[in-house]
Structure 1
Amino acid sequence: MKSKVLLLLALGIFTTSCISIKAKSERTIIAKETYVPVDQELYNTIVALDKRFFDAYNTCDLKTQDELISEDLEFFHDKGGLATSKTQILEAMKNNICGKVTRTLIDGTTEVYPIPGYGAVQMGEHKFFNNEEPTAKSIPSKFVTIWKNDNGTWKMTRIISTHKN
């Protein structure tokens, strides 16, 4: 009889512990903090540069794109690999993007952080739409852009683009 009581007590403690651990693990899910720019003026500058570049991207304004891309650009793409030739990148945009693809920034996803003595890093999410397939679904993708400030002239020097599919 005593062994049955001890077995039931041990089972009760074990069950209670499991329930407590499960409940605690569910409670400790941490919500993502709301982003607040550490430098609002820098944030506004980079968001405006991003808009300028992608307005040009969406309208095939290669001159503006050329102005915002550094000669030593490194573009890392999880599907296409590494591209380092500004000329080839602009040529690829002319041949493969112009009139065919539109990019939209996903509101509320952009974060900008200063890089002292260099410029800034921008992170966010965006979507690309195939204009030739207007009903095709666009899945958000992530990007990181390193912007260099050379005496007030901003240029993209490093870009990382990743996709979920």
Structure 2
Amino acid sequence: MSKATVLMAAAAFLAIGSAAFAASQQPATNPSTDALFDTISTLDTAVFGAFNHCSDPGQLQKHASYFAPDIEFYHDNGGVTWTRKAMIANTAKNVCGHYRRELVPGSLKVYPIKGFGAIEQGVHRFCMLKTGACEGMADFVIVWRHQGATWQITRVLSYGHRSSE
């Protein structure tokens, strides 16, 4: 086999492999994944509905119930939080009564994790409650564990915080 033939075969192999890899990284569009997307989207709305109203009685604890006790929360500006108790204390101190979170429309993606749950990815913005101004935004990744009928957040990455202007 000539060197040119070997190089062309290698290039074709790499192109096929790259295409297969890229396809595997896209959210699947089969009916079970559409159901998974709907489930995670509904959970996102619920967990952040409680977050957005955490000053109201019972809402902070409702928000906390979506997180595993050993949650790992990675925040590019705030550092790492290793427990639900510490994370909720930070939320009570820094969020409640100050701002709300909004999911940027069209940014949500959901990827199944075989035998475990799902990865949720998207972009959110933060709006000040006093002014209504939505001045900050960030990317996020949430890892959801599914056990029986329960979905619980085990890991969160909130990063790339920036001005939304």
The counterpart of 1:146, out of the listed 143, 159, 162, is: 143
For the pair 1:114 / 2:112, whether they are aligned, the reply is: yes
- Could you say what secondary structure the match of 1:138 adopts? strand
Q: Which structure is higher in strand share?
A: 2
Equivalent residue, structure 1, for 2:124 = 126
| 8 Å Cα contact 1:128-1:138 kept in structure 2 | yes
Question: Matched residues in 2 for 1:98 and 1:52: separation?
Answer: 16
Question: Matched residues in 1 for 2:77 and 2:138: separation?
Answer: 12
In the alignment, structure 2 segments of 5+ residues that lack a partner are 1-25
| 1:11-40 deviation line (CA, Å, top 9, x unaligned) | xxxxxxxxxxxxxxxxxxxxxxx9664500
Largest Rg, 1 or 2: 1
Equivalent residue, structure 2, for 1:104 = 102
For the pair 1:53 / 2:47, whether they are aligned, the reply is: yes
| 8 Å Cα contact 2:104-2:124 kept in structure 1 | yes
C-alpha distance 36-150 of structure 1, shift in aligned 2 (>3 A): closer
- Could you say what secondary structure the match of 1:42 adopts? helix
Question: Matched residues in 2 for 1:57 and 1:164: separation?
Answer: 18
Question: Identical aligned pairs, as a percentage?
Answer: 31
Give the TM-score normalised by structure 1.
Answer: 0.74
Equivalent residue, structure 2, for 1:67 = 65
| 1:98-152 deviation line (CA, Å, top 9, x unaligned) | 12111100111000010001100000001011223444x5233100000000112
Offset at residue 164 of structure 1 (A): 4.2
Question: Matched residues in 2 for 1:93 and 1:37: separation?
Answer: 35
CA RMSD of aligned residues (A): 1.7
In the alignment, structure 1 segments of 5+ residues that lack a partner are 1-33
Aligned length: 131
Question: Matched residues in 2 for 1:111 and 1:134: separation?
Answer: 26
Equivalent residue, structure 2, for 1:19 = none
Give the TM-score normalised by structure 2.
Answer: 0.74
The counterpart of 1:87, out of the listed 61, 85, 88, is: 85
Offset at residue 96 of structure 1 (A): 1.6
| 8 Å Cα contact 1:148-1:156 kept in structure 2 | yes
Equivalent residue, structure 2, for 1:161 = 158
